[in-house]
């Protein structure tokens, strides 16, 4: 008879072993670095909308949402809206919850496309900076007493901006839920010349997260997720809230 518990335990053992294989990790990072020249992370959609994430991270986030079942998912950075629709569609299957998302460059046609889905009542969009005090205040007003909250940071990837986001939004994450910081991979790969950005090695989400985790002891990096992903834009970026 098939038994789920030994199966899951075996997966964790194999994932840990592959994470300890330094040559495999080097090859995985090389694949990610080279494929980025061809916009590998831009190739995907969720329910028809572009989702600028790696397939591995899409699946990992789905696993977290399904397992943790948050009442509120807050995302900074909307882009084309695929990630917002991903989260809302999973909450629709669960039967509860809403997504609150903010982007300084939220375009009207993107807003219309996002809100055209049958579960759009679960989606609340804001146009503006994720660190604007008025935006943060409006988001906080949507969190009811006792509701569980998950946060994903995926907007401006500069050190200063992400650190400010962490200090503003991480306190909203409830115990047992996740804080996911995207694009920590920027610190592990050479500076991009094919897609110039203000951020790069030494100035990115991972450098900000390191400082924040030193300031706040309530989060721990979930190594089991990183172990199995191999190819991810968020190494050490999956953080679980363990204490207030």
Instruction: Give the model confidence (pLDDT) of 101-145 as tens digits.
Output: 999 999 999 999 999 999 999 999 999 999 999 999 999 999 999
pLDDT band at 198 (very low <50, low <70, confident <90, very high): confident
DSSP E strands: which ranges in the chain? Answer: 45-46, 49-50, 72-76, 98-103, 123-127, 149-153, 178-181, 219-221, 238-241
Q: With contact defined as beta carbons under 8 Å apart, do 120 and 91 qualify?
A: no
What is the pLDDT, as a whole number, of residue 1? 65
What is the pLDDT, as a whole number, of residue 211? 98
What is the pLDDT, as a whole number, of residue 196? 82
CATH topology of domain 4-241: Rossmann fold (3.40.50)
- Give just the sign of the alpha carbon dihedral 146, 213, 83, 103: positive
Q: DSSP character for 172? A: G
pLDDT in tens, 1-28: 678 999 999 999 999 999 999 999 999 9
Q: What is the mean pLDDT of residues 67-80?
A: 98
Q: Outline where 125-177 has alpha helix (H).
A: 133-141, 159-169
- Look at residues 105, 91, 215 and name the one whose alpha carbon lies nearest to residue 154: 105
Give the domain ranges of the chain: 4-241
pLDDT band at 162 (very low <50, low <70, confident <90, very high): very high
Q: What is the pTM of this model?
A: 0.95
Q: 69: helix, coil or strand?
A: coil
Please tell me the distance from the alpha carbon of residue 20 to that of residue 17, in angstroms, as a whole number.
5
- CA-to-CA dists, residue 115 to 50, 120, 206, angstroms: 15, 5, 32
Beta-strand relationship, 149-153 and 178-181: parallel
Please tell me the distance from the alpha carbon of residue 239 to that of residue 180, in angstroms, as a whole number.
6
Q: What is the mean pLDDT of residues 214-239?
A: 95
């Amino acid at each position: 008879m098939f038994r789920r518990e030994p199966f899951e335990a075996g997966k964790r053992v194999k994932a840990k072993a592959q994470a300890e294989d330094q040559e495999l990790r080097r090859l995985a990072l090389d694949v990610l670095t080279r494929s980025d020249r061809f916009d590998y992370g831009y190739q995907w959609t969720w329910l028809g909308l572009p989702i600028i994430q790696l397939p591995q991270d899409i699946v990992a986030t789905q696993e977290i949402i399904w397992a943790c079942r948050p009442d509120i998912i807050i995302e900074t950075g909307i882009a084309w809206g695929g990630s917002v629709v991903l989260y809302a569609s999973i909450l629709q299957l669960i039967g509860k919850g809403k997504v609150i998302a903010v982007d300084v460059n939220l375009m009207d046609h993107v807003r219309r496309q996002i809100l055209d889905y049958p579960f759009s009542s679960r989606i609340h969009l804001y146009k503006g900076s994720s660190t604007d005090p008025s935006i943060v205040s409006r988001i906080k007003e949507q969190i009811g007493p006792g509701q569980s909250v998950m946060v994903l940071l995926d907007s401006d990837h500069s050190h200063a901006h992400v650190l400010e986001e962490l200090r503003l939004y991480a306190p909203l994450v409830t115990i047992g839920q996740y804080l996911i910081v995207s694009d920590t991979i920027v610190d592990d790969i050479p500076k991009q010349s094919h897609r110039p950005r203000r951020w790069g090695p030494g100035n990115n989400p991972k450098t900000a997260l390191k400082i924040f985790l030193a300031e706040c002891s309530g989060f721990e990096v979930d190594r089991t997720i990183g172990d199995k992903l191999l190819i991810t834009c968020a190494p050490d970026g999956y953080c679980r809230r363990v204490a207030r």
